[in-house]
Structure 1
Amino acid sequence: MMKEETLEWLAARSYTYLLFQRLLGTEPSAELFEAIEVTVAQEAFALVFGEGSAALQQSETMIHHIQTARDSVASWRSEYRRLFEGPAELPAPPWESVYTSNKRLLMQPTTLDVRNAYRAHGFIPECYPRVPDDHIALELDFLATLAARAQEAYDQGDKEYCQKLLESSHTFIADHVGIWVNDFAQDVATKGHSDYYEGVTHTLAAFIAADAKALERARSLA
């Protein structure tokens, strides 16, 4: 990729990870949806997924929900709590360890592995230690942080550090979020009552897969 194309791709990654972090780490509200720059989101998804792809069409449906969110915020907030917060048993637990342990338990060895990955980059979640480190929103926040740092490093001409951050991102996807995001999205689809959250999580899963492939190709930045 040429420098301008690389910067656009890095910016799209940074924006998209942060968008998903907010959508899955924050209860729905009018303020949340009003803060989303729809045109920027559409441009980022088009760059990540490619024109005409099924994933891009899926992202457009998700954005349409966001654009018409005002009349649905209350019901989506209720569904967010039912799916991801409780207090009843959660239909779609938002923690990696639940999906990677045979007994679907929290605070398994994978949680410590995630914490160590964070610490290697000086990343300490704002809600630490109240929320287990392997919550989907925290994992996305970590990837958003790495993406923002990679964008800044490349913009400042530090391609070596940028490459290191991209490699760390690829490793984290391969070892962690990429392992369980599809199962998480499937739980939301089969046990949820909202087309919106089904769309968010399936679009997220498609984005994670697309980003992993892009990171494989980005072994040497122009």
Structure 2
Amino acid sequence: MTLENIALTGRVLGVLLYAPPESEDGQQLLATLSESEWVKEWPYGDAEQLQTAAALIATGIEDKQEESLAEAYQRLFVGPDTLPAPLWGSVYLDKENVLFGNSTLRLRRWLRSNGIDAQHDRNEPEDHIGTLLMMVAWLAEERQGGLVEQLLTKHLLPWAPRYLELLQANAQHPFYQGLAQLAQITLSAWAAECSAEVESLELHF
């Protein structure tokens, strides 16, 4: 497991799956991703996979779609309509498909037992996909390889592939289609690098 690669890619994916595209962090990443050079530095996936994702991302950043990038973010991440790809782990892992469900409480206990402050909006469940990706990146930056692996195998990877599948299928915007593909490539590589098996948990969404 290469922590530098996890830190870099987790930070990029986490910000883009959490922050609005017009935010300062979002704008900085969009400027980087609008150029093709980043593909050579992305440490996961083969050239063909990355080029496909990168082409979609670049097309979406051009913002020549009927739906703007900001409008797509609003539809996919905020509402007011029902989100086609819910962003929180408990929606997938709890039978009732609720926020702050049992799986969120399990994650919260894990964070507390390891002295980790999620440093997020307290009204937002800790199991938001973007929050978890940024948390993985932070732990990797802190060289906490064991905790990175636990967070991945127990709390993120059991449900994140389903979320990304739904995001790609329902994105209807090239930027988020490409981002979903890039995240799928990356998380698949993370899973392969883990020494422990990803927990097999029943999904309910």
Q: TM-score range by the shorter chain?
A: 0.7 to 0.9
Conserved 8 A contact 2:53-2:181: no
Alignment match of 1:168 (pick from 147, 162, 165): 147
Alpha carbons of structure 1 residues 168 and 201: separation in structure 2 relative to 1, 3 Å: same
Tell me the equivalent position of 1:48: 44
Conserved 8 A contact 2:84-2:170: yes
**TM-fit CA distance, 1:216:** 2.7
2:128 is aligned with 1:135: yes
Alpha carbons of structure 1 residues 190 and 70: separation in structure 2 relative to 1, 3 Å: closer
Instruction: Return the structure number with greater relative CO, CA threshold 8 A, min gap 6.
Output: 2
**TM-fit CA distance, 1:181:** 1.4
Tell me the equivalent position of 2:51: 57
Tell me the equivalent position of 1:220: none
**TM-fit CA distance, 1:168:** 1.9
**TM-fit CA distance, 1:33:** 5.2
Conserved 8 A contact 1:84-1:90: yes
Distance 1:58 1:119 in 2: 40
Distance 1:78 1:142 in 2: 27
Distance 1:65 1:176 in 2: 33
Q: Which amino acid aligns with 1:198?
A: Q
Q: How does 1:33-182 map to 2 (within 5 A)?
A: 34-36=27-29, 37-38=32-33, 41-45=38-42, 47-49=43-45, 51-52=46-47, 54=49, 56-61=50-55, 63-65=57-59, 68-69=61-62, 71=64, 75-150=68-143, 165-182=144-161
Gaps of 5+ in 2: 197-205
Conserved 8 A contact 2:87-2:163: yes
**TM-fit CA distance, 1:82:** 1.0
**TM-fit CA distance, 1:76:** 1.4
Tell me the equivalent position of 1:200: 179
Q: Give aligned pairs, total.
A: 192
Q: Secondary structure at the match of 1:13?
A: helix
Distance 1:184 1:105 in 2: 15
Deviates more, 1:198-207 or 1:91-100: 198-207
Q: Which runs of 4+ in 1 moved over 6 A?
A: none
TM-score (norm 2): 0.79
Query: How large is the Cα RMSD of the aligned pairs?
Result: 2.7
Tell me the equivalent position of 2:203: none
Tell me the equivalent position of 1:161: none
Q: Secondary structure at the match of 1:48?
A: coil
Conserved 8 A contact 2:7-2:140: yes
Distance 1:81 1:103 in 2: 25
Distance 1:104 1:122 in 2: 28
Larger helix share, 1 or 2: 1
Conserved 8 A contact 1:13-1:48: no
Distance 1:120 1:172 in 2: 13
Distance 2:84 2:140 in 1: 30
Q: Secondary structure at the match of 1:28?
A: coil
TM-score (norm 1): 0.74
